[in-house]
Structures are given as C-alpha cells and as structure tokens.
Structure 1
Amino acid sequence: MFSFSRNCFKYCTSFFRRNVPNETILSTLSFCHKFQDSNEKNLHKICFSNHTHKFDCFLFQTNTSYTQFPVPFAPFSSPYSTKAPSRSYRRRARNRLLKSSKPTLDQAQFQLALSQLPPRFTTEELCCVIAQQDHPLVCLELFHWASQQPRFQHDVSTFHVTIKNLGAAKMFQEMDDIVNQLLAVPLIGSEALFNTVIYYFTQARKLTRAVNVFKHMKSGRNLVSCYRPSIRTYNILFAAFLGRGSNSYINHVYMETIRCLFRQMVNDGIKPDIFSLNSMIKGYVLSLHVNDALRIFHQMGVVYDCQPNALTYDCLVYGLCAQGRTNNAKELCYEMKTKGFVPGSKSYNSLVNSLALGGEIEEAVNYLWEMTDKQRSADFITYRTVLDEICRRGTIQEGMSFLQELQEKDLVDGHAYRKLLYVLEDDYGDSVSRNMGIQ
C-alpha cells in the first residue's frame, strides 16, 4: 500500500499543469499523506509550481465506504526529443535496416546450380557456374559449399568472380569475409583480383581496408609474385581520396596521402599517365595549392612525357579564378583554345564570374556569349553575378536590357528569368519598377 501511494504521488506531481487550482493540489496532498510511508520524510517538500509538463488533471474521489484511486484520462507519455539523432544512432539504424532488407537464399536456385556441377568439378567449372548466377547469395553459398568439399581448393578465378558479384551487389560485409580468406592464403592472387578488391572497398568508403590490401600487394613476401601494384591500382586510390568531398580542408588532409602515393609510384618505377597527373593537379587545386598544380602542369611534357588534355586546363583555370588570378586564367584559356580544346562549363563559369567581380564587365559578357556559342551552359550564379555587376557599375536600364537579351536568346527559362527579376527588385526596387513601366 505504501509503494502504491508513492507511485500515485509520483504520477500526480509529474503531470499537473501550472494552472491547476490550489484546492486540487491541496486535496491531492492530503489524499497522498494518508498513505505516506514513515520513511519518506521529504515527501512534503516537493514543489508543484515550477513543473512544466502538461497533462490533464486526475480525478480523486474519497468516500467513507471506499476509496477510488486516481485514474488518468489519457495514457502516460513522455515528450519526444527535438534533438537530431546522433551519428551512432543513425549508424545503428542503418545497419538494422540493411540487415532487415537483406535477401534470403533461394534454395531452389541453389540446388539447380549444384546440379550443374560434376562430381569432381574443377575451379574452371565452378567459376563458370558462379558467373552464371544472378543472385549474389547463391554465389556466396556455392563458394562456401565448394570450400567444404574434399580435394578442392579455391584459386584466383573463383575468388575473383565471387568478390566481383558480392561487390556489385553491395554486400560488402560478406565480401570482406571472402577477402580475409584470400589474404590468409599465401601466394594466391593477381593484380586484377586485388584491383577489384580495392575498387569495391573504395566504393564502400572503407579506405582503411583498401590501403591494407594495397600494402599486402607491396609486402616483402610478394616481391617475386605477379600482383605488384600497377598504375591502375594507384589510379583507383587517387580517385577514392579525391572523392571525399568538396571541403578544401578535407582535400588538404587527403592531399598529403595522395602526394605520398604519387612519390611512391614514381620511386617504384611506374610511369604516371594522364589520369595520375590530372589527379595530382585536381588535388592541389581543391586543396588551394595552385602553384603546386602549375608545377605539375609544367613538368608533364618535360619530365613525364605526357601532354595535358582538356581536363588539365579546366582544373587549372578553375583554380586560378578561385584565387583571383584572372590574367593567368585567361592565358591558360587562350593556350587551351590554340591546342584545339574547348573549355568546359566549369572553366567558362569561373572565368566569367572572376572577370565580372574584377570589374571587367565587357570582357565577362564576351566570354558569356562565347560559351553559349560553344554550347556550354552557364549556371544561375553566373547570370546573377554578371547582372548584379552591370547594375552596380552601370545603370539599371543596362541590366534590364541584358536580362531581356538573355530571354530573347532563350538562355534562361521563365523560372530563371523571374528569379533574376526578383533579385533586381530586391536590390533596386524603385528603379526596376520605373524601367518596367517605361518598357
């Protein structure tokens, strides 16, 4: 009885509203004191005035013949948190969702695949059967079943086809188990197999595992084997580290790893190709080291015997414009066009924005018409920057004429035109209204 009174009093004190009448509170206190335990001396010190929970009042009725205990009008519920879920909670929820959404093994298809194998099958026959399966779980079960058969050992082909199927199905945990079995077997592997493993680990954002496999390829016991890292191995790692995001600080951190990989590749006698050199240039540009990118650019034909392509110039023009070095960007753009390359949309947009912000409005507009003639699309930010600089350095009427010309040349649709017009109205409201009235 004492414990029930304590619980009753706890619920009463937790869910009273601020505007509850004093008579109700006093009647509740007097009711609960009848069942108060002698050890609970601090019960009367609980304060009701500062409680913020909102809940309907309880109905208390006491008679001489019987006592009706408090019954709530609504079920008890705790308020929900307004905070965003933590990263660990999101990870656990994602893992639970992935586990619940995993497909189940099709026993009929698995038995059909087993029936296609002879009693004493070879690795080539097993590899052919696994490659014909559409369901990745059947491939995995065939691999495990073959591992338990006497006088059978997996080779490079069976490991390769199983890892490829699991990686394509994004079953990275199962693929990781197969890779552990592969690394535990000495002197089994190939360059193509380990390149596939590294590629799918980078797709799963498991860069640590990818680097461990790369170190396994470079380990001392594999000096005489045929699966040393090649230029393709390094290019896979370059692409993985460059795809970590657009944050310059993140790219700066990973750029040191890319630089070490590039130095190690050159020291191993592997000649860089255009993809490796463009990766270095792109990494330096994204990490705001444009001078280092220019150094690699000038060494391409002299040191590495590799000529730059359009992507090389696009990265450099974008990096120079990002640092406000517009004259150097124009020189590279001119050199690019003399070699027969057409600048990309990223180069043109960055160059037009940089020229407009630098006060060279006429040249920025000329490059804008040039990029439209070259079938390169300008983004909304470029149009807004040029339009804003025209209005700021010239007149509102010139800006309206430019906007009208964009619409006549069908460079902006109705939605983009209205957005640009709203920008002008926000910045130059009265002047725009007068010009619109004149037109």
Structure 2
Amino acid sequence: MFLSISGMSSKWKGDRRGNLWLCWFRHNTTTYHITIQKLGAAQMYQEMDDVVNQVLAVPLICSEALYNTIIYYFTEARKLTRAVNIFNHMKSSRNSNCKPSIRTYNILFAALLSRGSNSYINHAYMDTIRCLFKQMVNDGVEPDIFTLNSMIKGYVLSLHVNDALRIFHQMGGVYACKPNSFTYDYLIHGLCAQGRTKNAKEICNEMKTAGLIPSSKSYNSLVNALALGGETEEAVEYVWEMTENQRSADFITYRTVLDEICRQGRVQEAMRLLQEFQEKNLVDGGAYKKLLYVLEDDYGN
C-alpha cells in the first residue's frame, strides 16, 4: 500500500514472521520526471498540474530536463501562460542546473509559432518571440539552426520578410550556423507571397548551389508568383525543373500557369502544354478534364 503525503510516500513491508513496519522515502527529481512524462503523454493535464505544484514547492527538486518536460507538456495542453511561468521560475532559480537551455527556448519558440493561422495573430506573437530571442542571446545562450529557422519562419508568417532575410544573412557570420532546406524554403515562400520573384529566384539558386533541392511548396510558390507576374516562360521552365527533381506541382499551379498563358493571347500554346502535362503523367485524367473545362469556359472552345 502506498500513500502520498506532500511529496513523501510510505509503504508497508513485512518479514517472514508477519511483522509489519512502515518505510518512508521521498520522491526525487527522477521519480517526478517520470511521473510528469507519463501524465503528460496520457494527456492527464490536471493530474500533471497537481504534481508540478508539488515540484515547485520543493526547492531541492530542480533539473533543466525536468522543467523542459513540464514546459513541453503545458504547451501541448495549450497552457502557454503556465509554460511561461515555469520558464520564469527557471530563470529566477539560483540553481545553475535549472537555468533555461537552448532546448527550453526552442520549445517555447515552437509553441508560439503554432499559435494562430493568420498574419495578424502571428504578428502579435512575433513580438513575444523577438523579445524571447533577444533575452536568450543576452543570457549567453547560443542559438542553433532550429532557433534561427524559427525566427525566419516567424518573420515570414508575420509578413516581415526583410527581417527574415536579415537573420538569414547573419547565420554564417554572427551565429555560425549553416542554412538548411527549411531556411531556404521559408524565405522562398515568403518572398513569393510578396511578389518578390527576383529575390526568390536568387535564394532558390543559392539553395541549389548549396546542394539542396527546393520543396514542392517552394516550387509551387515560385511558379505561381512568376506566372502571376507575367513571366510565364520562366514559370514553365520551373515546372519542368521541379518534375526532374521529383517534386510535384498542384492543381492550382497548373491552372495558374495555363490561365496566365491564355491571358497573354496564347490559348493554343496553353492547350498544347496541357496535353503535354497529361502525356507525361503530370496530371491524371480527372485533373486534365477539369483544367480543360476551365480553359474552354474562360477562353472559348
């Protein structure tokens, strides 16, 4: 039989003669850590919260990994305020083993970036992310590639693409981090969303020079932006490039390219291109018919 009293547990034990005695032991960092992991994974957040309160009440129970786990599961439970309170508790701790690490900050960055789905909400959270990043650097915590990509992604989502480019250009010199495929993809998508196709192509070329292949999302963004900007020939070139790199264009991309070619008075060329898409199995029968109907409806038989 176990009883939990203010972080202390008891267990009745007996010997061969049937005598019983009561043994006492205290929970330590490991037992609390395992308990919180189990409760968090089971989404038993209220019970987890009760255990966290016990942890906070015992100053000797202190571990950066333990607090990171607490913060992570509070963010999973959408209790961002509670997670930030734990973070502040870590910062104010006199125990060096409890100070926030790069892992702590990255958990919070990921949680903040997942909040909201439009630029206004992302703009509001980006102010918090910016302050958190500044605080991290001031505290001597070196950002890693995940941190910097989080900043770039946040700036792109909040429509501050120039700030995202600033972080990108600081990667090698200031932070000694090498951009990866996520870095380039975020920038290409953000630049294309603002119609800055020249800059997007420069980033795309730099990405390929680094031996990386743009994602399907980046290619689709670039093709759509080029087509809408009237650069249909170059848009088609990127369509062939993405297929060579085993990236797939979506229905909207094909429609945008064909539609813009037709707008330029080259309807027959658009029809031949659609036929070529089908012959190369880039569009299936259903998509081919839909695209054909759209062109016929908009530009005649």
> TM over 0.5: same fold?
yes
2:110 pairs with 1:239 = yes
Using the TM superposition, give the Cα deviation of residue 156 of structure 1 relative to its aligned residue in structure 2, in angstroms: 0.6
Q: Deviations over 1:260-314 (max 9, x none)?
A: 1100100110111011011001100110001111111111111111111111111
Aligned to 1:188: 61
Alpha-carbon displacement from aligned partner over 1:153-195 (angstroms, at most 9, x marks no partner): 1111111111101111111111111111111111212111111
The secondary structure found in structure 2 opposite 1:151 is strand
Of the three residues 276, 286, 290, the one matched with 1:405 is 276
Equivalent in the alignment of 1:152: 25
Pairwise CA distance, 1:411: 1.1
Which of residues 163, 168, 172 is equivalent to 2:36? 163
- Report the counterpart of residue 199 of structure 1 in structure 2: 72
CA deviation map 1:232-256 (0-9, x unaligned): 0000000111111331111100001
Cα distance between partner residues in 2 of 1:200 and 1:416: 43
- Percent identical across equivalent pairs? 74
Name the counterpart of 1:357.
228
Contact 1:235–1:276 (Cα < 8 Å) also in 2: yes
The answer (yes or no) to whether the contact 1:266–1:272 under 8 Å persists in 2 is: yes
Aligned partner of 1:176 in structure 2 is: 49
Worse-matched range after superposition: 367-376 or 393-402: 393-402
Work out whether 1:392 is the aligned partner of 2:237. Answer: no
What residue number does 1:229 align with?
100
Q: Distance in 1 between matches of 2:215 and 2:58?
A: 48
Q: Flag structure 2 segments of 5+ consecutive residues without an equivalent.
A: 11-22
Distance 2:116 2:289 in 1: 32
**Matching of residues 316-335 of structure 1 within 5 Å:** 316-335=187-206
Q: CA deviation at 1:143?
A: 6.5
SS of corresponding position for 1:410: coil
Which residue of structure 1 lines up, in the alignment, with residue 247 of structure 2?
Answer: 376
- Are residues 274 and 142 of structure 1, via their aligned partners in 2, closer, same or farther at CA, if it must alter by over 3 Å? farther
Q: Tell me, yes or no, if the aligned pair for 1:252 and 1:287 is still in contact at 8 Å.
A: yes
Residue 152 of structure 1: SS of its match in structure 2? strand
- 1:387·1:403 contact (CA, 8 Å) conserved in 2? yes
Displacement of 1:422 after TM fit?
2.8
Q: CA RMSD for the aligned pairs?
A: 1.7
Aligned to 1:261: 132
> For 1:341 and 1:314, how far apart are their aligned partners in 2?
10
Aligned partners of 1:300 and 1:145: how far apart in 2? Answer: 48
The one-character-per-residue Cα deviations of 1:71-117 (angstroms, maximum 9, x if unpaired) are: xxxxxxxxxxxxxxxxxxxxxxxxxxxxxxxxxxxxxxxxxxx6xxx
CA offsets 1:187-232 (integer angstroms, 9 cap, x no match): 212111111111111111110111011011011xx22331110000
Following the alignment from structure 1 to structure 2, what is the Cα–Cα distance between the partners of residues 263 and 299? 14
Distance 1:312 1:385 in 2: 26
Q: TM-score, normalised by structure 2?
A: 0.92
Question: Rg: which structure is higher?
Answer: 1
> Which residue in the other structure is 2:20 paired with?
none
Higher relative contact order (CA 8 A, sep 6+): 2
CA contact (8 A) 1:143 1:162 kept: no
Aligned residues: 289
- Secondary structure of residue in 2 paired with 1:314: helix
Task: Tell me which of 75, 83, 96 is aligned to 1:210.
Answer: 83
